[in-house]
């Protein structure tokens, strides 16, 4: 029997529990993946706690969207993959599990130089950052301001923007500044005086801003510095982004992502794996916990007590 983390009611991390489930079977166009690592993301906790609306629970609800592992079996009509291949998984519900049937279009091959934990840390953070920057048309010559640059999405945004030739200013606590410098950004501390510090760091101005923090200060500073509001976006303040005249990508936004934006999110997985393999991208890894300790993973994630990507190991 396979194992999976589920919940049957909304609530605190304590509603998460491990159960046995029948071993999955690969249908046409699918692969059964033995999960070696599952990435924990804030959206997992928001759905579990009902902070992000979702349909009523009518049966045990599985958790997680990102993971990595090894293909155990293949369904019909699958090309390009073989049993034993190492793969990363994106946008597939239920990755907090020991085995999962995954549509092959949600898989990307992992080279030996990329660990399962790194592969499990790509999907949502890198997909969100990649799509947001593509939507904002970030390119060589831009000066990008990233609020919340030390988070997983922020770090990915910094690295993509630097790779594309942009200058990056990123906000974070001082303890995280050296890390941001290593990624190629100029760090500034958030808090009182943020506007003046960003202006000092970017004397020629800021052309585009991405909010990964969700604070009022992040929105206000972005509005003050970026002339074109169509080049200001948030991934956190979706419900009220329109009231500021800025864009929102998910983050509770009532506006769904476009087909092109969804395509960019899908494209990000292979793009990030390639950069990881070449040594041009870093995923900050945090605690690794056994699958059965998913509740503790959510507690760490929600409290902010751990830095880096929290990974569950079946």
Helix, strand, coil tally for the chain in percent (to 5) = 35, 25, 40
Long-range contacts of range 198-203, CB-CB < 8 Å, 24 or more positions apart?
A: 198/145, 198/169, 198/171, 198/225, 199/225, 201/169, 202/143, 202/145, 202/167, 202/169
pLDDT in the model for residue 86: 98
Q: Where does the pLDDT of residue 177 fall: very low under 50, low under 70, confident under 90, or very high at 90 and above?
A: very high
pLDDT in the model for residue 209: 98
Q: Identify whether the C-beta of residue 152 lies closer than 8 Å to the C-beta of residue 211.
A: no
Q: What angle do CA 72, 76, 79 make, to 5 degrees?
A: 80
Task: Give per-residue pLDDT as tens, 94-120.
Answer: 999 999 999 999 999 999 999 999 999
Q: What is the average pLDDT across 27-49?
A: 97
Four-way CATH pick for 2-120+284-313: 3.10.310.30, 3.90.180.10, 3.40.47.10, 3.40.50.10420: 3.90.180.10
Structure tokens at 31: 């692969």
Q: What is the average pLDDT across 210-239?
A: 97
pTM of this prediction? Answer: 0.96
What class, spelled out in words, does domain 125-259 have in CATH?
Answer: alpha beta
pLDDT in the model for residue 144: 98
Q: Where does the pLDDT of residue 128 fall: very low under 50, low under 70, confident under 90, or very high at 90 and above?
A: very high
Q: What percent of the chain has pLDDT over 70?
A: 100
Q: What percent of the chain has pLDDT over 90?
A: 98
Task: Give per-residue pLDDT as tens, 39-85.
Answer: 999 999 999 999 999 999 999 999 999 999 999 999 999 999 999 99
251 has pLDDT over 90: no
Ramachandran angles phi, psi of 107, nearest 5°: -115, 150
305 has pLDDT over 90: no
CA distance 313 to 88: 14
Task: Give per-residue pLDDT as tens, 149-167.
Answer: 999 999 999 999 999 999 9
Mean pLDDT, the chain, rounded, equals: 97
pLDDT in the model for residue 306: 85
Q: What is the average pLDDT across 180-190?
A: 97
Task: Give per-residue pLDDT as tens, 281-302.
Answer: 999 999 999 999 999 999 999 9
If we measure between CA atoms, which residue out of 258, 275, 273 comes closest to residue 164? 275
Domain boundaries along the sequence of the chain: 2-120+284-313, 125-259
182 has pLDDT over 90: yes
């Amino acid at each position: 029997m396979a194992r999976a983390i589920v919940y049957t009611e909304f609530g605190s991390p304590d509603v998460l529990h491990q159960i046995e489930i029948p071993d999955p079977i690969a249908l046409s166009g699918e692969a059964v993946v033995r999960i070696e690592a599952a990435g924990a993301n804030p959206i997992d906790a928001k759905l579990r706690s009902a902070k992000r609306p979702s349909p009523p629970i009518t049966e045990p609800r599985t958790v997680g969207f990102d993971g990595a592992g090894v293909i155990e079996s293949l369904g019909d009509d699958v090309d390009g993959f073989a049993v034993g291949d190492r793969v990363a998984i994106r946008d597939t519900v239920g990755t907090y599990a020991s085995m999962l049937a995954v549509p092959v279009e949600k898989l990307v091959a992992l080279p030996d130089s990329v660990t399962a934990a790194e592969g499990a840390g790509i999907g949502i953070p890198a997909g969100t950052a990649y799509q947001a920057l593509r939507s904002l048309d970030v390119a060589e010559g831009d000066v990008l301001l990233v609020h919340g640059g030390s988070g997983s999405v922020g770090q990915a945004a910094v690295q993509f923007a630097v790779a594309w030739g942009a200058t990056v200013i990123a906000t974070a606590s001082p303890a995280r500044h050296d890390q941001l410098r290593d990624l190629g950004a100029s760090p500034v501390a958030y808090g009182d005086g943020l506007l003046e510090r960003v202006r000092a760091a970017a004397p020629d101005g800021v052309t585009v801003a991405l909010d990964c923090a969700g604070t009022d200060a992040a929105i206000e500073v972005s509005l003050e510095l970026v002339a074109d509001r169509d080049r200001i976006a948030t991934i956190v303040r979706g419900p009220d982004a329109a009231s500021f005249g800025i864009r929102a990508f998910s983050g509770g936004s009532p506006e769904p992502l476009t087909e092109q934006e969804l395509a960019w999110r899908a494209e990000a997985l292979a793009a990030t794996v390639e950069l990881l393999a070449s040594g041009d991208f870093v995923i900050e890894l945090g605690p690794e916990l056994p699958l059965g300790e998913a509740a503790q993973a959510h507690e760490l994630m929600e409290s902010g007590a751990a830095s880096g990507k929290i990974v569950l190991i079946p």
